Structure 1
């Protein structure tokens, strides 16, 4: 690897670490420190984009339309200042995704993602172990965005609740169990792909997969447990489809799509009964009430929404008191689809759905019918071609319980997947004996 490529890969790993663990910087250095770190990274990313000058002509249309719609929503936004701030965060994060997707080779991108997520997992377990063994009480951010002397502080404000050895859910350096669980799941997918393709030592791969599984278990995140179960099911379908002729692959795809359509339709038809069942039998951590509140407000502006904001801005109406539970002001609807419908209306929801649908379909065909250049020494398929499908599946399931796909790590991954699957620039394994190394370039 040349010095220039090494720098670029290192920068990519730092970008991915920062979007995956934004609260690490905010809790450690304050919001101002985090802003300084992200400004430096953004500058470096823009410099690399200027040097590489990648072609932007074939960026995915749904992605561009979604960004365009969010941008022009400032014209009708009920909170234009907050919309401008949200747009800055969305566009800056998208720029990072464009850099990752277009300026790195496939193996460099996966290597950077693996490195970043392993650092998050490793630091999280060390952090929680130190707090659990030596501190033994909740740890607040170094620079808390609240008055630490105000009296009773909600558990949600703690960086770590010191629960690693008490049976509770660990939060790691990211300060949130659900976020850490998602990092663990994506790390498990990424390292698993690397191990299967032999791009890292098998012993090292199995060790980090075990660490990812342990971290996921310690977070006790029901939403990500569900995502992991769906990922395993999709992996099984993809492996089955790979063993079938083209007609069989299509049959598997359309059968799965039909089953999904039946489930979604049944959900709409029996929505009232389903919600009643959930309220009686499942603790969704106030999500049903949050969804109802946000949906009621969104119904006042159903076509184009209230205006883009990504993360809610608690300093402006209606977010200042929209959802306040146990002294905590919530900054998301805990469902990306509800959030998009609220912020960009039915128009935005259709565009967002088209974006995710195109990424999902392209990921499926790349996983089950990849180009011949992805052949490896062990067969016509590379495990790497499964990665986009498994990651977008995890993001889709998470989007039903969290709005994280719209910000930071989730949004970065979505931008990368949209661009890479559109261009079919997947990582290329070592060439087969007698195959020219130039084939995969």
Structure 2
């Protein structure tokens, strides 16, 4: 009888730490591996998985409601973006389809908000690292099986089997650019794991080698841009942390001015940079695509054409753009351009504000706190911001999930609501990462 009493009730399960870790790993694996799941089991299976995870997420939040602060549950810029995407369904060419696409966006946001509140930054890094290791190992195994053992493409996974020719490879992610992006996400995570010693050194080093090899084999020009941007940002963060507190704010402003000037110079020299990367043909394709997108943006500049996320190629303006280009694009190959097309200038302003506040909060927090783990959020946001100039990954799937997780983490560390919580919680009471006065 004593043993039976010691066992936790099933109602206590959603609030347990073990359940939180299992939930986090499951969500990250299912969203990052969504292409493989959809290819093997169909879109209905993927939708069912996300729906089930969303129900569980609601259950977790309800179970932990006393630990959470409603004021700090979700960033206001995220709320604004979700409300505007929902409103756009009313003027969309297909309101019903647009609404269901919004449900997908909101469901992933719900999962990310839940993870952001039940896992701290180090626990999130560990979960992302474990999932990335598994998916990259599977990707390498699939490429070896396709290109060397069987010497045939796995068309059901989108794997061409070119690893014997040193790429480009796609892994289980569908495209080489998606694999390259995920490899950079993995590299940032593995390096933080190494610095924080959250995994054994050998495991961290082998993980870094694995991600680096697959990034090179992907032959994605985006990888080199991402790697250069993240490396430069890491160096700057290292220097900022060593500036005395009295001079750090001035240094941050100088850094911001230098970043704007450097970005302007890079934009002005984009043609030569792209030629050096061997991506001139890719740029030409994107330029033609964006020219047709601009035509439709001018027709509905403020509100856009309605939210779809990944394009519904049966609907205007997407169908017309693809017909004119004699192609089958499913995105605008730029997250900012996609938001501008679907949500207009109003939506783009909210989206950029969401990105900028997330980065600013996480950057200031990381520059003041020396632990390596605090660098993960700003570096991840920077990775997502840079890749958004070349792909629309941050508007769906693992890109959107990671962006919202980072926004929640950044909002808990640096926010106007933090000061308000200090006034409302009596002195001496413990405080959870989410801002409540109860132990987590």
* CA distance in 2 between partners of 1:263 and 1:312 (Å): 33
Matching residue within 385, 394, 397 for 1:405? 394
* CA distance in 2 between partners of 1:265 and 1:229 (Å): 17
* CA distance in 2 between partners of 1:190 and 1:276 (Å): 31
Q: Which runs of 5 or more structure 2 residues have no equivalent in the other structure?
A: 1-7, 415-429, 434-440
* CA distance in 2 between partners of 1:324 and 1:206 (Å): 47
TM-score, normalising length from structure 2?
Answer: 0.85
What aligned pairs does 1:340-379 form with structure 2 within 5 A after superposition? 340-370=339-369
Q: Which runs of 5 or more structure 1 residues have no equivalent in the other structure?
A: 142-157, 371-380, 426-437
Indicate how the Cα distance of structure 1 residues 324 and 46 shifts in structure 2: closer, same or farther if over 3 A, else same.
farther
* CA distance in 2 between partners of 1:256 and 1:52 (Å): 40
What aligned pairs does 1:37-436 form with structure 2 within 5 A after superposition? 37-53=49-65, 54-58=68-72, 59-141=74-156, 159-264=158-263, 282-284=280-282, 286-323=285-322, 328-370=327-369, 381-424=370-413
Q: Is the 8 A contact 1:308 1:343 kept in 2?
A: yes
**Structure holding more helix per residue:** 2
* CA distance in 2 between partners of 1:410 and 1:297 (Å): 26
Structure 1 window deviating more from structure 2 (285-294 vs 395-404): it is 285-294
Q: Deviations over 1:72-115 (max 9, x none)?
A: 11222233123112101110110111111012233322221111
Q: Is the 8 A contact 2:32 2:397 kept in 1?
A: yes
Q: Is the 8 A contact 2:289 2:325 kept in 1?
A: no
Deviation at 1:163, TM superposition (A): 0.7
- Tell me, what secondary structure is at the counterpart of 2:308? coil
- Say whether 1:19 aligns with 2:31: yes
Q: Is the 8 A contact 1:195 1:202 kept in 2?
A: yes
Deviation at 1:382, TM superposition (A): 0.9
Q: Deviations over 1:329-367 (max 9, x none)?
A: 211000111111111111111111111111111121111
Q: Is the 8 A contact 2:121 2:374 kept in 1?
A: no
* CA distance in 2 between partners of 1:102 and 1:236 (Å): 29
- Tell me, what secondary structure is at the counterpart of 2:186? helix
* CA distance in 1 between partners of 2:305 and 2:325 (Å): 26
Deviation at 1:33, TM superposition (A): 2.1
- Tell me, what secondary structure is at the counterpart of 1:313? coil
* CA distance in 2 between partners of 1:64 and 1:169 (Å): 39
Q: Deviations over 1:302-344 (max 9, x none)?
A: 0111111111112322223422599752110001111111111
TM-score, normalising length from structure 1?
Answer: 0.84
Q: Is the 8 A contact 2:221 2:279 kept in 1?
A: no
Matching residue within 20, 45, 51 for 1:33? 45
Structure 1 window deviating more from structure 2 (75-84 vs 278-287): it is 278-287
Q: Is the 8 A contact 1:93 1:411 kept in 2?
A: yes
Aligned pair count reads 399
Alignment RMSD (CA, Å): 2.5
Indicate how the Cα distance of structure 1 residues 239 and 267 shifts in structure 2: closer, same or farther if over 3 A, else same.
closer
